[in-house]
Copies of this chain bind each other. A is one copy, B any other.
Amino acid sequence: MALIGLITDFGLQDEYVGLMKAVILGIDAAAAPVDLSHAVEPQNVVQAAFLLEAAYRYFPAGSIHLIVVDPGVGTERAVLYLEANRQRFIAPDNGVLSLLMDPPGAVSSLRRVDNPALWRPRVSPTFHGRDIMAPAVAHLSKGMDARKLGPELNPNEVKILDGLRARRSGDGGIQGRIVHIDRFGNLITNLDQALLQFSEAFWPDRPPAIHLGGQLIVGVCRTYGDVEAGRPLALVGSRGYLEIAVRCGNAQRYFGVRQGDAVEVRPAR
């Protein structure tokens, strides 16, 4: 029996997520599906990749994650099985697992999921999540050896998205972007804590200046309560990444930004 984290762009208004759970529980009644998010923007593989990275560490070792953001469903794109960081992942080969394969040494096992004996009797060309991936997840949860899923792959045979991580710029700053905007309007970036700490931008005598949407925040707070209601702040959010928030307010509306917009950290002058 395993926890099964679910990330999709299916939304919850349709039956799609429920059908995957019914298929999983029909094969392994002891499986425990856990919805992480089904509100990934349709076909937004980058958003799903960061959501997965933020979430998987909170699952016990051996958990299985099923990620179905799959614009290429029904085409020749493969379905992947990945073991990394003591967790297991099943997803289309479209780059959504990129952050888990960086560095490549993190990969314990990588396979193509292509054993039709595990599929549902009739496979819809538009819903591999239900007919191919959910059964694979359930058989793993029930204890099946992962080698039965299909043949091994090399990491260089699968699609990797480049440029997902923030990076240092020449002048000692960091360049990144907004990868998710949550219900509260908090702007979650790809500027991770380690990068922040090692950047010159964190020199103690020059607090970092965070630039976004043509505006500026100086300094990084610890929690929302560190500023007055209605004021913007930057903090290291619960994902471990730099977040921009407005206390008791909505940073998305405050800054007028969108997912994908640039965020830059520079030493303040």
Q: Is A215 an interface residue (CB 8 A)?
A: no
Contacts of A36 in B (CB 8 A): 15, 18-19
Q: Which of A9-53 contact B (CB under 8 A)?
A: 9-19, 21-23, 25-26, 29, 32, 34-39, 42-43, 51
Q: A3-B25, A248-B43 are in contact. Are A35 and B18 (CB under 8 A)?
A: yes
Docked-complex contact B32 and A74, CB < 8 angstroms? no
Q: Is A116 an interface residue (CB 8 A)?
A: no
Docked complex Cα distance between A248 and B70 (Å): 11
Contacts A13-B183, A26-B58, A58-B19 given: A74-B225 contact, CB under 8 Å?
Answer: yes
* A267 interface hit (Cβ, 8 Å): no
Let me know if A115 is at the binding interface, CB within 8 A.
no
The prevalent SS among residues of A at the interface is loop
- A5 located at the interface, meaning its Cβ lies under 8 Å from any Cβ of chain B in the complex: yes
Report the bound CA distance from A160 to B224 in whole Å: 23
We find that the number of chain A residues with CB closer than 8 angstroms to chain B is 60
- Residues of A at under 8 Å CB distance from B? 1, 3, 5-6, 9-19, 21-23, 25-26, 29, 32, 34-39, 42-43, 51, 54-55, 58-60, 63, 71-75, 124-127, 130, 180, 182-184, 222-225, 235, 237-238, 243, 248
Closest 10 CB pairs of A and B: A74-B223, A11-B183, A13-B39, A127-B238, A18-B36, A125-B223, A26-B60, A75-B225, A124-B238, A14-B182
